[in-house]
Structure 1
Amino acid sequence: MPHFYSRILLLAIACTATACGGKSDPAQAATDDDDPRHVRHELMEGVRDAAKPVGAMLKGEAEFDADTLMSSLKVFHDASGEFGDLFPPGTETGMDTEAAPAIWEDREGFDQALADWRAAVEKAMDAKPATLEDAKPVVGPIFNTCKNCHDTYRIEEEG
């Protein structure tokens, strides 16, 4: 019988470890996927990936494609609606965050920068640019809002 109980105990430990994402402490069971720092990083990676083809089109490095542009604008718009909630108090450090302390020190300014980004995206979406000439005046301001926000509210990676 003792062998049976030890096997049950080992099975219970294995199941608990699996349920906790491999972490031994159930209190630490939340995965990185639940952490706002991870979520905002992944969201911004998606924005970056969506911005690449748009930037290439604006620079003349890629042929203009209205469908690609609109898909990218949709990614930007979706992200702009979620992003502000991903900077709660307590997420200022850790996980190699690039979020600058200015986000929490000047929350009103950060929220305004996000609102400016969203407004620029919505203006471009409403314009539905069909040509590169149509796109430049409405997409350029989106990239400007990104730069302005990053200049103030992002810590540049070293290296």
Structure 2
Amino acid sequence: MKLFAYAAVALTAMSVAAAADALEDRQNLMKERGSLMRILAPIAQEKQPFDAATVLDALEKMNANAQATTDVAALWPEGSNTGDTESSPKVWEDMAGFQAANDKFAADTAAAVAAAPQDLAAFQAVFGPVASNCGSCHEAYRM
């Protein structure tokens, strides 16, 4: 009986640790995403000069970031909805919708990289959907 109790305590501790790791992982990914948006958005808004190499580098990093969040069940597991999180409860209530939003973001960032924009107009055309994903996801799934 003691063995069962120890196993239950260990399993609970591992679940809490996994949720904490997932929370930290997703926060780091979102911070990186925000820093990349602070590079790309001013260029798209013509507040910074267009530089194809800078844009492509940031888009490639954004795409890698987006691909890292495609397994939302791993980054937003049950039990990671408490603590220092800005994720809305809707994430866990509508995991399929949240997964679809993440998949769309990943597809749009991949398309932006594949386009390899060489001028401002081409960049703005591919960046619009990427930025739109951020806004719509924040409205629906962020507190």
In structure 1, distance between residues paired with 2:81 and 2:65: 20
Q: Offset at 1:31?
A: 8.2
Structure 1 equivalent of residue 62 of structure 2: 76
In structure 2, distance between residues paired with 1:86 and 1:146: 17
Do structure 1's residue 131 and structure 2's residue 105 form an aligned pair?
no
Q: TM-score, normalised by structure 1?
A: 0.74
Partner of residue 32 from structure 2, selected from 22, 43, 46: 46
In structure 1, distance between residues paired with 2:132 and 2:60: 18
Greater per-residue helix proportion: 2
Moved over 4 A (4+): none
Do structure 1's residue 58 and structure 2's residue 44 form an aligned pair?
yes
Structure 2 equivalent of residue 107 of structure 1: 95
Structure 1 equivalent of residue 78 of structure 2: 89
In structure 2, distance between residues paired with 1:126 and 1:100: 32
Instruction: Give the secondary-structure state (helix, strand or coil) at the position aligned to 1:100.
Output: coil
Structure 1: 5+ residue stretches without partners: 1-26
Deviation string 1:12-49 (CA, Å, 9 cap, x unpaired) is: xxxxxxxxxxxxxxx79x989x6111111111111111
In structure 2, distance between residues paired with 1:80 and 1:134: 21
Q: TM-score, normalised by structure 2?
A: 0.82
Higher relative contact order (CA 8 A, sep 6+): 2
In structure 1, distance between residues paired with 2:96 and 2:126: 25
Aligned residues: 126
In structure 2, distance between residues paired with 1:58 and 1:82: 24
Instruction: Give the secondary-structure state (helix, strand or coil) at the position aligned to 1:35.
Output: helix
Amino acid at match of 2:125: P
In structure 1, distance between residues paired with 2:78 and 2:61: 26
In structure 2, distance between residues paired with 1:104 and 1:113: 13
Percent of aligned pairs with the same amino acid: 30
Find the structure with the greater CA-based Rg.
1
Change in CA separation of 1:45 and 1:105 when aligned onto 2, cut-off 3 Å: same
In structure 2, distance between residues paired with 1:80 and 1:31: 24
Q: Offset at 1:80?
A: 1.5
